[in-house]
Amino acid sequence: MALEGANVPSVDQRDRTVPINLRQSGRTPVELLISTRIRKSPYWELSHQAGCWRAEVYNRMYHPRGYVRPEDGGAMAEYASLVHDVTLWNVAVERQIQVVGPDAEAFVDRVITRDATRISPMRARYVILCNEDGGILNDPVLLRLSAEEFWFSCSDSDLLLWLQGVNVGLGHDVQIREIDVSPVQVQGPRSADLMVDLVGAEVLDVPSYGLMQASVAGLDVVVSQTGFSGEKGYEIYLRDATLHAERLWQAVLDAGERHGLQVIAPAHHRRVAAGILSWGQDMDVETLPFQVNLGYQVPKEGEKAGDYIGRQRLEEVRAELEAGGTPYTHQLVGMRLGGRPITDYAPDFWLISGGPEDDPDGYVTSPWWSPELETNIAMGFVPVDRAGPGTRLWVHLPEDYAETPGVPVPAEVVEMPFRPSVNPNTREALRERATDAS
């Protein structure tokens, strides 16, 4: 007998080995036990002192997810600080994996799809790593410190184990290990002014995805002009972080006092508006780059001399797409949607239908309210034949956000990003170059 009800996924995912769990079960009604197997970052106690009242687990580490209480404005009050002033984020969960040695460039070039030989020392790039089936294993920011040293600033997966395992087969002369480096992010329109006070005016010469060595409170750090917000922003990578976290944190607070600095959680509402993906939420190991608008990360003929893991499969998929085929069932799109303002994290993948009475065939991955656009916005997976801009959809929101309980709200597929970024991501920059050239 076929099972029916809320705990049975209802969306066709025949192209996946393990379907996305679409159990619409709402918020977890139990206390989550956190033991010593979940790490506390060097900044965790400092985050708690700054008002952090909730967290999740990311990269097996506590990850702050809220400082302003709901009764005081919650996540949207934090959003206001980000887009108007300057904010400090504890992002130690971006664990740093160092690849160092004579063969570092050759090894990194083999595991990322982009051409590592074109990354100069003291520059960074947004990259992806894929498995042999073309699935995205991780989408880190890759920092190149020198000719023989790279850092993967990784998202939420066991990238260290993958890299070490790959090199068992490749046998490159490199050392691969996690290092005691923990970043914080300084994000917002006043971030450059704060950083000048913190490390000096030379930081203004650091380009987007550029790096500089600096000193903060006598501590050695690496500064990058990067971030997870789409706003002007920087990351500060602290060496020997378990020893010196307090000194760095206090130095940033002191420098930020005259700039209106606020400590907030990583602003997922702003990254959605910027069209920035979150691994594990908008994509995973069974997602092809072409499904999530990352096709530009897959080299075309002549763009990369060296081989890379996943190349054969990704070239096959590209050829099928260019021939008009559909090698996968769903595509990630941006949507504007109705309903009450979504001002907090979604605990479920809310379902999407082609019509108000149709069976669901898609799902939302990242929804939020946009104050600038005065509407809810979201990313989500829909059938490929309904992924075009202007397509009408219907989203099944929970009672907290539905205009009428049990009745889906209208939505429309739109282009991403939803609003321009001060620090455009690579996809935005490439689109702008193509527009300028036309």
Q: What is the pLDDT of residues 53-112, one digit of tens each?
A: 999 999 999 999 999 999 999 999 999 999 999 999 999 999 999 999 999 999 999 999
Q: How far apart are alpha carbons 284 and 288 in whole angstroms?
A: 9
Pseudo-torsion of CA 249, 252, 258, 261, nearest 10°? -70
Long-range own/partner contacts, residues 62-69 (CB < 8 A, 24 or more apart): 62/34, 62/38, 63/93, 63/266, 64/89, 64/90, 64/265, 64/266, 65/265, 65/345, 66/265, 67/262, 67/263, 67/264, 67/265, 68/264
Q: Where are the domains of the chain?
A: 37-266+298-326, 278-284+329-438
pTM: 0.93
Q: Give the pLDDT mean for 258-287.
A: 95
User: Of the ranges 191-195, 227-231, 289-293, which one carries the lowest mean pLDDT score?
Assistant: 227-231
Q: Is there a binding annotation on residue 235?
A: yes
pLDDT of residue 22: 84
CATH annotation of 37-266+298-326: 3.30.1360.120
Fold of domain 278-284+329-438: Elongation Factor Tu (Ef-tu); domain 3 (2.40.30)
Cβ 275 vs Cβ 334: under 8 Å: yes
Q: What is the pLDDT of residues 322-348, one digit of tens each?
A: 999 999 999 999 999 999 999 999 999
**What is the C-alpha end-to-end distance of the chain, expressed in Å?**
58
Other Cβ atoms within 10 Å of 39 Cβ, number: 15
pLDDT at 360 over 90: yes
Q: Using 50, 70 and 90 to split pLDDT, how confident is the model at 3?
A: very low
